Each structure stands twice: as C-alpha cells, then as structure tokens.
Amino acid sequence: MKFISSENPSSSETFQIIDDGLRKKAMVMIFACCKANYDGRARSRLGSGERMIILKPDGAFLIHQDRKLDPVNWQPPKSRSKVKMKEGIVYLESIRRAPEERLEVEIKKTHLVTYYLPEDSHDLEVTGHEKDMGKMIWKNPEIIEKGFRPTDKEYSTSHGFIDILGKDKDGSLMILELKSRKAGNSAVKQLRRYLKDFEDDKKKVRGILVAPSITDDALELLEEEGMEFKSVEPPKELNIDKKVTLDFF
C-alpha cells in the first residue's frame, strides 16, 4: 500500500503505522501531543505541546511547532529512526552517530498519523543570481550595448574577481559588476576598486554596474566617479536560452 492514514488512532495503531512506514522507507507525518528530549552537542528539553512530526526516507527527523519556519528539534539526513511501545506509550527515537546525537519523542496522544511512498527524483533548480545574469549576458552581449564583446569571466584582480571583462565597439575596456538585486553604495565602491587596477591602462576603461535597479545615492556616487549603470533584470526562466525580455535604464 502506497498511502495509509488514521485519525485519532490508538497508541497501538499509531505504533503499527509508524513502524510500517519506517520499514517501507516512506514519508511519515504525525500530528500529536508530544514532548522531546535531545542529547548531543548540547541538551534540550521540550515540554508537552501539539506539534507536527516528520520522518523522511533519508533519515531526516523534524518536529515543527505552529510558529516559525524552522523546526524546533531536528536530526539531519542519515540519522537512524525507530519506534517502540512502552507501557502503552509510543516513543520515537532518532540517532546520529557522528557526531553522536540522540532525539527521543514521547507521543502522548495522536490526532493524525500517515505515511506515503513518494516518487520524486528531481532536484531544485534555481535561477536569478549573478551567475545566471553572467551566463545570459555572455550569450547575449548586446543586452549591455551594441558592439560589446565579453572576453573574460571571473577575471582575477588584487581586489577580487571581476564578473565580466570585455570591450566596446571602439575597443575600450569594459568592467562589469553584476548584482541580481537593487544595487547600493557597496556595489559602486567595489566597481571603483576594480577600476583602480587598470589605472595604468593607456586606453579608456569603462566601469558598468549592471543590476535591476539602483538606489539614488548609489547612482549619484556612480556618476561622480564617471561610471555607468545599466538596468538588467536577472533571467526568470530556468532555461536562459529562451527569449528574454529586458528593461533598459
């Protein structure tokens, strides 16, 4: 059976469903009144309360309260979980060997217990970071301006790595600092430090801050330094080979 669930089960039924789910390496979820004890790199005690408990096939063990994003107690993947009955009470135990950690949960009353055998082989794909902007600009350099030719990525300098180095249609060197969010003074100052490494260059060197938007004081500082701003939105599509619509400053 791929899925099983029981509302207000007895202790013995709770034990049977959890035990069956663990043996089948299923995703087990329990809504229950419980308390928890943790011993490991530190010690903690969690008094009785209504909580959600999740046991994952990879060994992760999570206890969630009705507030906050993160679990109040947890064990990482590769921990070993087991369930036992003692004097009519259900106990869950999660053990991690290195470092040695132990989380024990006493279930006082179960409101809902369920397990499910999920099929999920995909990892999360994320886009919209500076790295994605760099790939997009490298493949479509005219996003910056006509005639722009990128020559280097992550170019090393004494002040860090330049996101993209290239030349404009007149052969002037262009230094691009990319930000996927609204740019501030720190981005302008970083770009200015890169330009200092090219002060001895005989040809004109242009500093371009590339971001979706920029603060007013950062734009003022940028113009005072003789640098430029180009408004470019990071790619929203996971496949950046698709057509991308951009707004220019």
234: DSSP letter: P
In the chain, where the domains are located: 3-116, 130-231
Helix, strand, or coil here: 233? Answer: coil
pLDDT, one tens digit for every residue, the chain (249 residues): 788 999 999 999 999 999 999 999 999 999 999 999 999 989 999 999 999 999 999 999 999 999 999 999 999 999 999 999 999 999 999 999 989 999 999 999 999 999 999 888 877 766 668 889 999 999 999 999 999 999 999 999 988 999 999 999 999 999 999 999 999 999 999 999 999 989 877 678 999 999 999 999 999 999 999 999 999 999 876 554 444 444 433
- Hey, how many other C-beta atoms are within 10 angstroms of the C-beta on 122? 5
Determine the pLDDT at residue 201. Answer: 74
Q: How far is the C-alpha of 85 from the C-alpha of 87, rounded, in Å?
A: 7
Q: How far is the C-alpha of 139 from the C-alpha of 172, rounded, in Å?
A: 20
Residue among 171, 224, 165 at smallest CA distance from 198: 165
Please list, residue by residue across 10-35, b when 16 or more beta carbons sit within 10 angstroms of its beta carbon and e when fewer do.
Answer: ebeebbbbbbebbebebbbbbbbebe
The alpha carbons of the chain give a radius of gyration, in whole angstroms, of 28
Domain covering 3-116 assigned CATH 2.70.180.20 in the classification: yes
Query: Tokens 């599509």 sit at which residue?
Result: 237
Environment class of 166 (CB within 10 Å of its CB; exposed 0-12, middle 13-18, buried 19+): buried
Fold classification of 130-231 is Trna Endonuclease; Chain: A, domain 1 (3.40.1350)
What is the value of pTM for the model shown? 0.61
